[in-house]
Amino acid sequence: MRVRSKLSLVWMYLLALVTLLQLSGFSGSAEQCEVPQNVRYIELPPNGGVVVYSDLAAGVVSFVTTRSGSFVLQSIEKSGEDLVVEAFVDGAPAWIVVPRSDFWKYKFIHDFDSQPLADHRIMFPLLKSNTMGGTLPCAIPDRREQARSLLERGYDELRTGSDVRAAELLWAGLELDSDNALALYYWAYAAVRPDNYLGPYDGFRQAIELGLPAELDALARQYVGMLETSYPELKEAYELRTKR
């Protein structure tokens, strides 16, 4: 499937870093954080570790999350730069303290509209478009910075030949910002295998549609062509799914 030289990997790595530096002139935002009007749900980070209090004043802990979850909001109050969120958890009121430094991990959602399959970036594994959506506006630069850090680490792994670890890091970055064409391209490049080609095919196609630098666009189209030659059903399935 691939013929890779050390020189081409170094060239790709440098191209990725240069493009990232051109696109990522951001850092943590110091602006005042405001929660948008009519927000109804809070979505907790997928990696868990959020402390949920049944009695915040007394410091009584109800539980600590182990995975992502979404709760109905009752109220949001500011405590200095932090947020104190009151929500309904299992039918009872509960409180979550969200530190300012962690705002980028949370999403504040108006409603849970299911995203059409046509709007998913990748189907296997599942990756929605606009995974940045629901992030507080003031926390978007921080979320992008976290995504950028993961992507740079992924590119580093690619440079040293560790495809599996590279794919893991690049995917973690995509979960933070799935509309990043470079990340989609390099994840697909790292993940594609004879027994794993459905998701990478989507990744290459989506990266092309979002827009890549000319050199990477040409390489992505080469990979798409190679995959379609080996697995002719891919093109029809993709275009059927993404047809609007």
- Tell me: pLDDT of 222 over 50: yes
For the segment 79-91, the average pLDDT, to the nearest whole number, is 92
pLDDT band at 243 (very low <50, low <70, confident <90, very high): confident
Q: Does domain 41-109 have CATH number 3.30.300?
A: no
For the segment 34-63, the average pLDDT, to the nearest whole number, is 92
- Positive/negative CA dihedral, 112, 113, 116, 121: negative
- Tell me: pLDDT of 28 over 80: no
CA atoms within 13 A on the CB side of 138: 14
Residue 125, preceding peptide bond in cis (omega within 30° of 0): yes
Lowest model confidence (mean pLDDT) among 1-5, 66-70, 149-153: 1-5
Same fold, 6-27+115-242 and 41-109: no
pLDDT in tens, 180-217: 999 999 999 999 998 999 999 999 999 999 999 999 99
Residue (of 137, 171, 168) closest to 26 by Cα position = 137
For the segment 123-147, the average pLDDT, to the nearest whole number, is 93
The structure tokens 């995974």 sit at 131
Classify domain 6-27+115-242 at the CATH superfamily level.
Tetratricopeptide repeat domain (1.25.40.10)
- Tell me: pLDDT of 29 over 70: no
Instruction: Answer whether 197's CB lies under 8 Å from 227's CB.
Output: yes
C-alpha distances out from residue 238 to 51, 198, 205, 208, 232, Å: 41, 9, 9, 13, 11
Whole-number pLDDT of residue 19: 52
Every domain of the chain and the residues it spans: 6-27+115-242, 41-109
pLDDT band at 154 (very low <50, low <70, confident <90, very high): very high
Alpha helix (H) ranges present in 138-197?
140-159, 163-176, 181-191
pLDDT in tens, 130-139: 999 999 999 9
Lowest model confidence (mean pLDDT) among 34-43, 98-107, 229-238: 34-43
Instruction: Answer whether 176's CB lies under 8 Å from 150's CB.
Output: yes
DSSP string covering 19-82, please? Answer: HHHHH-------SPP-PPTT--EEE--TT---EEEEETTTTEEEEE-SS--EEEEEEEEEETTE
